Structures are given as structure tokens and as C-alpha cells.
């Protein structure tokens, strides 16, 4: 993994960390399931009209949209609407990293080095320190919902890697076409047309301005820019090298919640964040890759590609 790719992965972590504050602001006004539909509809409409569909198998496009778009955000938004604090949500959702590594090992037969495994274990320990500091802040249900969202994100990671798009940004944009209609149907069923209608009728009032700013940030910066870069990284590198960078998201999440919402992090939060950074550094920087046995599921890892 090149230095440039590592810096891009850190940038994505910052964008996604701040995104939890944006989500909090949007959920102050919009119902959670409708917000998922609205978030992706903002991107899907111009995508269908002006962006050529990526030349990837339909199953991987649908799988990416299902995992990253529907499952991750339906569960995450429901958790935050149920009381999950933004900083803690940014922490628990990073269970997607070990979930991705496990899925990649089982599904794609990617192998881990001992040093990389130790680095991931250290990062997970850092997340555990923050979780222990935050124990009792959230009820069990929001935590479980967020973990379900993390599993959805991991599934989407694997699908985006298997899609191998020539243009990752086009895949990101077309992924946004998958969630709006299913999530709108779910919102109508669970949240009801009255609640949806009220949120739309008052959407352009001064009180709703922070929610609109949060929606714009989520749709443009977190989804188009952040997810586009992430998809490119997943294409160029094994999933097990990219996924640990997502553990930096809680550091950005707690910091932005502190600066914007006044949610001051405790000493344990800061200590845990430092341990996470150290673990990610070890897992992704302080190691040298070994030659791996080519997998029939991974044409880019053929003997010819490895030699090149």
C-alpha cells in the first residue's frame, strides 16, 4: 500500500468521522429510514440522468448497494435515532474492519501476516478502551443495531472489491441508486406518511437549516467523495490492508463531536484513540507484504500480476 493511498485512507476516515455529527444534525429533523432514502436519492437522480452505468456485474453493484447503502445506514440511523451518541456510534461502527477481514479471509482467501494481525488486535484493544470509558452511555439495543450496520458495511466492502470497477466513482454513484426505493417503502411502512410529510413541509425553515447542511455533507462529502476514494482503495489493495484505516474514524468522530456539539471526550477516549492510531500504523505501515498464493477468485493476483 503506497504512502499516497495511506494518506487518502486517513482523509476518508476524517470525512466519515465528521459525518456522524452531520447525521446527528439531520436526524434532529428527518425520520431515520426516510433520511436514508433522501440521502441516496439526492445522488441517485442526477446519477441516472447523467452518469454512465459502470461496467461491473449487476450482482456486485446490487450487493454493494445492499450492504453499504441499505443495511449499514438503516441500522446506523435507527441506532442514532434510538439514542446512540455520534462519537460512540463512530466507534462501534468500526467493527466493520474486523468483519471485513474475516469475510475477506473466508470469501476471498486473503491471508494476514502475524504483524498485521497484531496491529489489528492493538487497534481493537484501543476501541475497547473507548468503549469501556463510554460504558452505560447507550442502551444495548442501539449498540446492537450499530453492530448490524457494521456487518452491512463489511459486506459492501467485499462486494465493491469483487466488482473491480474501471471507474470507482461511477460505481459509488450508481450504488446510490439501490437504496432510495426500498428505504422509502420501509419508511412509509414504519414511520408513516404523516411523519415524512411533516419533515418535508418544514424542511426549509430556519430551524431545519442544520439538518439540510448535515444532509448536504453526508450526500456529497461523505458519500460521493469519501466512498469514492474508499472504493478506489479497495480496488487497488487487499481488503485486509484498507479496512483497518476505518478504525481511525472514531478518533475523528469524537473530536468533531467535541468541537461542534460540545461533547468533551474523556481521558479514556483520548487514550483509546492513541492506541487505535498505533494499531492502524502497525497493521498497515510497519510491515512488508509476503508473496501470497494466487486465488482463483482474484484475477489481479495471478502470478503474472504479482511479478509485475
Task: Summarize pLDDT for 34-83 with one digit per residue, the tens.
Answer: 999 999 999 999 999 999 999 999 999 999 999 999 999 999 999 999 88
Q: Is the pLDDT of residue 27 over 90?
A: yes
- All three cell numbers of 204, joined, read 426549509
- Give the three-state DSSP class for 55: coil
Query: How many C-beta atoms lie closer than 10 Å to residue 8's C-beta?
Result: 18
How much is the pTM?
Answer: 0.78
- Across the chain, mean pLDDT equals 84
- Give Cβ neighbours of residue 197 (< 8 Å, ≥ 6 apart): none
Q: What is the mean pLDDT of residues 243-256?
A: 84
More confident residue, 277 or 208: 208
Among candidate residues 148, 154, 152, 160, the one with its CA nearest the CA of residue 64: 160
CA dist list (Å): 191 to 4, 28, 200, 201? 44, 15, 13, 16
Residues 6+ apart with CB under 8 A from 40: 69, 176, 177, 178, 179, 180, 183, 219, 223
Give one DSSP letter per residue of 182-207, joined into a string. HHHHHHHHHTHHHHHHHHHHTTTSGG
Could you give the CA distance from residue 286 to residue 11 in angstroms, rounded to a whole number? Answer: 19
Residue 136 φ/ψ region, left for φ over 0, alpha for ψ in the -120 to 50 degree band, beta for the rest: left
- Reading the block at residue 1, the C-alpha cell is 500500500
- CA dist., res. 124 & res. 129, Å (int): 9
pLDDT of residue 108 exceeding 70 = yes
Residue 295 scores a pLDDT above 60: no
Amino acid at each position: 500500500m503506497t504512502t499516497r493511498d495511506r494518506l487518502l485512507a486517513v482523509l476518508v476516515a476524517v470525512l466519515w468521522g465528521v459525518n456522524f455529527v452531520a447525521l446527528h444534525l439531520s436526524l434532529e429533523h428527518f425520520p431515520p429510514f426516510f433520511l436514508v432514502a433522501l440521502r441516496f436519492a439526492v445522488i441517485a437522480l442526477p446519477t441516472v440522468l447523467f452518469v454512465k452505468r459502470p461496467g461491473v456485474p449487476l450482482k456486485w453493484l446490487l450487493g454493494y448497494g445492499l450492504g453499504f447503502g441499505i443495511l449499514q445506514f438503516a441500522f446506523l440511523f435507527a441506532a442514532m435515532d434510538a439514542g446512540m451518541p455520534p462519537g460512540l456510534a463512530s466507534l462501534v461502527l468500526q467493527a466493520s474492519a474486523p468483519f471485513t477481514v474475516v469475510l475477506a479471509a473466508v470469501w476471498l482467501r486473503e491471508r494476514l501476516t502475524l504483524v498485521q494481525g497484531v496491529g489489528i488486535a492493538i487497534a481493537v484493544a484501543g476501541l475497547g478502551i473507548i468503549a469501556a470509558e463510554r460504558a452505560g452511555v447507550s442502551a444495548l439495543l442501539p449498540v446492537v443495531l450499530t453492530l448490524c450496520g457494521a456487518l452491512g458495511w463489511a459486506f459492501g466492502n467485499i462486494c465493491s472489491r469483487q466488482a473491480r470497477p474501471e471507474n470507482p466513482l461511477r460505481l459509488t454513484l450508481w450504488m446510490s441508486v439501490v437504496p432510495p426505493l426500498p428505504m422509502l417503502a420501509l419508511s412509509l411502512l414504519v414511520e408513516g406518511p404523516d411523519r415524512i410529510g411533516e419533515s418535508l413541509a418544514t424542511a426549509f425553515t430556519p430551524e431545519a437549516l442544520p439538518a439540510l447542511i448535515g444532509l448536504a455533507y453526508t450526500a456529497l462529502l461523505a458519500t460521493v467523495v469519501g466512498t469514492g476514494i474508499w472504493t478506489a482503495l479497495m480496488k487497488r489493495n487487499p481488503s485486509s490492508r484498507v479496512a483497518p484505516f476505518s478504525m481511525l474514524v472514531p478518533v475523528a468522530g469524537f473530536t468533531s463531536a467535541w468541537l461542534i456539539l460540545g461533547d468533551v471526550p474523556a481521558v479514556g477516549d483520548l487514550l483509546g484513540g492513541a492506541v487505535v492510531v498505533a494499531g492502524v500504523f502497525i497493521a498497515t505501515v510497519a510491515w512488508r507484504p509476503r508473496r501470497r498464493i494466487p486465488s482463483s477468485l482474484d484475477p489481479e493476483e495471478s502470478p503474472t500480476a504479482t511479478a509485475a
